[in-house]
Amino acid sequence: MSRVALVTGGSRGIGAAISTALKEAGYTVAATYAGNDEAAKSFTDSTGIKTYKWNVGSYEESKAGIEKVESDLGPIEVVVANAGITRDAPFHKMTPEQWHEVIDTNLTGVFNTVHPIWPGMRERKFGRIVVISSINGQKGQFAQVNYAATKAGDIGIIKSLAQEGARAGITANAICPGYIGTDMVMAVPEKVRESIIAQIPAGRLGEPEEIARAVVFLVADDASFINGSTITANGGQYFV
């Protein structure tokens, strides 16, 4: 039986590429989305991957959604916490609402996604957790105090989960994508985006598929000794 993988924010952008790559690698995939019904429907129509709608910022919604996925597809053995948003503003203009929205989705959302699944992984003595962090959690970014805090927090989460899960056959790793050609990056003003691309030694934005292939690598059964690591995929823009 194929392993069941849950990908949050899995119907668009990097998440869609991850869902698709996992399906191609033989996993049974459930992709969550927060609001864009049309994109989710067309994703399901074109890939056959089931989509589920819930807000990862809500523990109750996440727990109920995960129960539904598990009753439809079976126990979740692979989790890719990918859902994320930006609310960019220079710090002097950043509102408490912008801070909380990003913290709730990007950071508390990881807790809400992994926590309900964790006990089952411990019981079954197998689990693969990948959190999609960001280059901006490693280097910081002008106008992203909120976002960078969450993405740096992701790395603290996986380093801690790696220690707690290792003896139960669970690994937790992070991927830090650089600037990838998704809606999120395309929403950055064009002039700013051009100046960012000029800082990428590869001379281009990354492709969502270039992140997805790292996920497939990390969740494999024989990746069991890779635990607590952070893979950087940013075209050479920043080294830790």
Residues labelled as active-site residues: 147
121 versus 185: smaller Cβ distance to ligand CAA:
185
Given 9, 78, 88, 175, the residue binding ligand CAA (CB under 6 A): 88
CA 64/CA 68 separation, integer angstroms: 6
Given 125, 142, 156, 194, the residue binding ligand CAA (CB under 6 A): 142
Question: Per CB under 6 A, which of residues 57..86 are in contact with ligand CAA?
Answer: 86
Q: How far is the CB of 142 from ligand CAA (least distance, A)?
A: 3
| Residue 135 binds to ligand CAA (criterion: CB under 6 A) | yes
Cα–Cα nearest to 108, from 87, 134, 90, 85: 85
Q: How many residues in the chain?
A: 240
Given 89, 94, 149, 168, the residue binding ligand CAA (CB under 6 A): 89
Supply 52's token pair: 């589920």
Place of tokens 């990881």: 110
The residue type of 199 is Q
CA 126/CA 101 separation, integer angstroms: 32
| Residue 93 binds to ligand CAA (criterion: CB under 6 A) | yes
DSSP 8-state symbol, 222: G
Contacts with ligand CAA, residue ranges (CB under 6 A): 86, 88-90, 93, 134-136, 141-144, 147, 179, 184-185, 188-189, 192
